[in-house]
Amino acid sequence: MVDATIPPFERFYGEHCNEVLGYLRRLLGARAEDAWQETFLKALRAYDRLEHGRHLRAWVFTIATRVAMDDLRSKASNTLLLGEIADGDGAELARPAYQQLEHLTGELPPTERAAVVLRYGYDLPYAEIGAALGSSEQAARAAASSGVRRLRKS
């Protein structure tokens, strides 16, 4: 049986703070740090209302995705970021196909970008990506494949 105890926040934070920052860097470039802090403050605000300690990784990616989507949608000009993404970020990416495409995801619409990065950068299942995007598993799958098609054309 999976241990459903909610871990002390320090452990949860220690396990996820770096990968969430990496994720937000891919979505937001240089604006990632503010979004990162907002993500973990939101997590902390909700943490004492959690009912169990399962799926915390998907949960924090969901919060980060929503913070990033709000940020991306609020920016009038949605041109970004490619130059801002730091070198070396790609080291943790194992999938060759994604590695070749990753530097182009900045040109995708926000939802497709998040779906592609969560699927191919962080291995989240489509059900959890759907939850993060506030949509269904099918919609998440569609967003990721549409994103990948768009990248292949570019």
Q: Does 45 bind another protein (CB under 8 A)?
A: yes
CB 49 within 8 A of CB 112: no
Tell me the closest approach of the beta carbon of residue 150 to another protein, in angstroms.
25
Q: Does 82 bind another protein (CB under 8 A)?
A: no
What contacts 66, CB < 8 A, 6 or more positions away? 132, 134
**Residue 25 half-sphere exposure toward CB, CA atoms < 13 A:** 17
- Rounded Cα distance between 5 and 46, Å, is 16
- Rounded Cα distance between 75 and 13, Å, is 28
Q: How many residues of this chain bind another protein (CB under 8 A)?
A: 26
Q: Does 55 bind another protein (CB under 8 A)?
A: no
Residue from 4, 30, 37, 100 touching another protein (CB under 8 A): that is 37
Q: Does 40 bind another protein (CB under 8 A)?
A: yes
Q: Would you tell me which residues interact with another protein (CB under 8 A)? A: 6-11, 13, 17-18, 21-22, 25, 33, 36-37, 40-41, 44-45, 47-48, 50, 86, 88-89, 92
